[in-house]
A and B are shown apart, each in its own frame.
Chain A
Amino acid sequence: DGGITQSPKYLFRKEGQNVTLSCEQNLNHDAMYWYRQDPGQGLRLIYYSQIVNDFQKGDIAEGYSVSREKKESFPLTVTSAQKNPTAFYLCASSIQGASDTQYFGPGTRLTVL
């Protein structure tokens, strides 16, 4: 919300293709996060980054990759190794870390056909 953009809102891909989801923030936040949400489920952490050029695996990192070359940007690549990629992907940012409020983007709904 307010300052975090994700695009596109809906994305369709064929099985076996890699796809990159974008996440941009202009809040000057150091920390950024990627979550996956499946229907009727909570949020599961994929990757997070607390500073430029550094990131850590979350709870379900297998089949995903990220980069953090700029403070404002934290793109997520869903690779063909991800066995069940169809889901709602949410990007978030916070000032520094886990004790700070997380601001979420509008999300990207990925469907793999």
Chain B
Amino acid sequence: GQQVMQIPQYQHVQEGEDFTTYCNSSTTLSNIQWYKQRPGGHPVFLIQLVKSGEVKKQKRLTFQFGEAKKNSSLHITATQTTDVGTYFCASSTGTASKLTFGTGTRLQVTL
């Protein structure tokens, strides 16, 4: 079945530093979605990318979808303590009626 690998598993940064998480697949993806889960909470949708090479920004967050539609990244500029949580990518392929979630990257931000 489809597998989506996400790296790193964990990253600890100081407030103000940048952070990037990567999502990689061996198969071509129809789309990629990104979710954030705060500690003790549930995943919340951030964004969806559909087009090859697409780049979208949300304030300090920049999302990219690879040209081959096999990888994606989420970059946070100047992290804040409110960015703490686990970031998941999720994707579907072809006519798949379900999402496959990556393993997630847990971000810890300290002052």
Contact = CB atoms under 8 A, between A and B. Distances in A.
A106 B31 contact: no
A98 B101 contact: no
A90 B37 CA distance: 12
Contacts of B92: 98-99
A58 B101 CA distance: 12
A41 B31 CA distance: 22
Interface centre among B1, B35, B42, B97 (most CB of A within 10 A): B42
A42 B9 CA distance: 10
B104 interface: yes
Contact of A101 (B48, B88, B103): B48
A97 interface: yes
Given A1-B44, A101-B48, A104-B43, A41 B1 contact: no
15 contacts: A31-B97, A33-B98, A35-B101, A40-B106, A42-B88, A42-B102, A43-B101, A50-B97, A99-B30, A99-B48, A102-B33, A102-B99, A104-B42, A105-B42, A107-B42
Shortest 9 CB-CB contacts between residues of A and residues of B: A98-B92, A104-B42, A43-B101, A42-B103, A101-B45, A97-B97, A42-B101, A42-B104, A98-B99
